Amino acid sequence: MTFRPEHELHARRKGRNIGVGLMLGAFVVLVLALTFTKVTSGDFELPKAEEIAN
Amino acid sequence: MADASYTTPAGEYDTQLGDYFALLKPRVMSLVVFTALVGLLAAPVTVHPVIAFSSILFVAIGAGASGALNMWWDADIDAVMQRTAKRPIPSGRVPAGEALSLGLALSGMAVMMLGLSANLLAAGLLAFTIFFYAVVYSMWLKRSTPQNIVIGGAAGAFPPVIGWVIATGSFSIEAWLMFALIFMWTPPHFWALALFMKSDYNDADVPMLTVTHGRRATRVHIVVYTILLALLAVGTGFTAIGGPLYLAMAVVLNALFLKGAVDIWRRDETQAEADSYKIEKKFFRLSLWYLFAHFGVILIEAMLRPFGMGGW
């Protein structure tokens, strides 16, 4: 079995793709940190059981 | 699989990440970040650092998105103006359609995320600011009235108000004072630029004051707006966001700024051309420091307050 050679496009756009990947990764980390901050803050309340049922 | 549809023919330019970043007007974005941060920190409410960081980041992304929309719409006039001809779209580095897509996508993302990280009022204000800059200023005012820079200046003045609203969830007089500072500063700043970027606005057929009312009228407008700005800036020193340090800085800097405006007003075109617009360029450079210093000292006053210093 042979692998297809990598298209030159991937090599040419490597920097751009790595950059986009890093930004998306940073965004995920930021949303995670934001969520953690919100749910651990004093004024956060879980919805009550009857509200969930409705 | 045929991959011709997504490849760039050999020899053609491949858009780089930096080109997309340039679409977001990084220098304008840095001013937005700074003034929004001052608005946030000057507010009498403490914000969790993670919420503060993410909210300011989303304001910056929203500002960048409106910059991309502005570049998409203004690509035709950017191409004929010396100052803007090297921007990503007129120079052919980014296709116009991609700038539009990036601007719209980032606008939606920034507004939605600001609503989640801060509050809906801040998100609504960011959405309005993007709309104001992209539609009211870029699409309407810029090409239709010499008051473009006066009314359009509001778009650049909103960030400290957004910062304040992120912290407090409501408006207040202090936030609007910071708005007024940028709003009144914008016209003399851009008119000085229009005076020494002599043919740019003429070439692009943009109805700047220099084009519609002449250069003499522009010089008069600069001095009138600078007097009003100085009154406002010094007066702000006596409010809750001011203090002795701010007042001292404002008196000195506004005296220098007024002197610069009067010097511009007293000159005519022959004198200006003789020294390559030296006074106008000096006034423009000072205007950058002017805004930075005013907001910087508002920030210092706010930082000193917990230690019993700063403010009145």
The predicted-structure confidence for A8-50, as pLDDT tens digits, reads as follows 777 888 888 999 999 999 999 999 999 999 999 877 677 777 7
Query: How many domains, in total, are found in chain B?
Result: 2
Burial class (CB in 10 A: 0-12, 13-18, 19+), B201: buried
Task: Inspect the interface and report whether the beta carbons of B16 and A30 lie closer than 8 Å.
Answer: no
Residue B121 has pLDDT above 70, yes or no: yes
Q: Is the ipTM of this complex over 0.85?
A: no
Q: Give tens-digit pLDDT for B36-77.
A: 999 999 999 999 999 999 999 999 999 999 999 999 999 999
Residues 6 or more apart in contact with residue B87 via CB below 8 angstroms = B22, B71, B75, B78
List the one residue out of B76, B79, B109, B89 whose CA is nearest residue B19.
B89
- Got the DSSP string for B157-175? HHHHHHHHHHHHSS--HHH
Which residue in B has a C-alpha nearest to residue A35's C-alpha? B117
Cβ within 8 Å, pair B51-A19 = no
- B226-275 tens-digit pLDDT: 999 999 999 999 999 999 999 999 999 999 999 999 999 999 989 998 99
Same domain flag for B208 and B132: no
CB proximity list for B302: less than 8 A, separation 6 or greater: B38, B41, B42, B241, B310, B311
Across the interface, which of B7, B16, B51 has its CB nearest the CB of A9? B7
Give the end of a domain, one of B170, B194, B228. B170
Q: Would B107 be classed as within a structural domain?
A: yes
The CA distance from B195 to B288, in Å, is 16
Shared domain check, B228 and B153: no
The enclosing domain of B77 has a CATH number of 1.10.357.140
Percent of chain B with pLDDT over 90: 78
| Rounded distance between C-alpha atoms, residue B263 and residue B260, angstroms | 5
Tell me whether residues B3 and A19 touch, CB distance under 8 A. Answer: no
Instruction: Give me the total of CB pairs closer than 8 Å, taking one residue from chain A and one from chain B.
Output: 31
Q: Classify the C-alpha dihedral B283-B284-B289-B293 as positive or negative.
A: positive
B133 shares its domain with B187: no
pLDDT of residue B202: 77
Contact yes or no for B16 and A33 at CB 8 A:
no
Domain extent, residue B235, equals 172-312
Q: Which two tokens mark B7?
A: 């490849």
Q: Do B54 and A33 touch (CB under 8 A)?
A: yes
Both structure tokens of B224: 């009138």
Q: Which of B116, B147, B170 is the last residue of a domain?
A: B170
Q: Is the pLDDT of residue B210 over 80?
A: yes
Is residue B5's pLDDT more than 50?
A: no
Inter-chain touch A9–B6, beta carbons under 8 Å: yes
Nearest to A41 among B15, B48, B116 (CB): B48
Q: Which residues contact B192 (CB under 8 A, 6 or more apart)?
A: B222, B264, B280, B281, B283, B284, B287
Residues B106, B190: one domain? no
Picking from A22-26, B179-183, B211-215, B257-261, which range would have the lowest pLDDT averaged per residue? B211-215
Does position B6 have pLDDT exceeding 60, yes or no?
Answer: no
Last residue of a domain, one of B109, B144, B170: B170
On chain B, the residues whose CB falls within 8 A of the CB of A7 are 3, 7
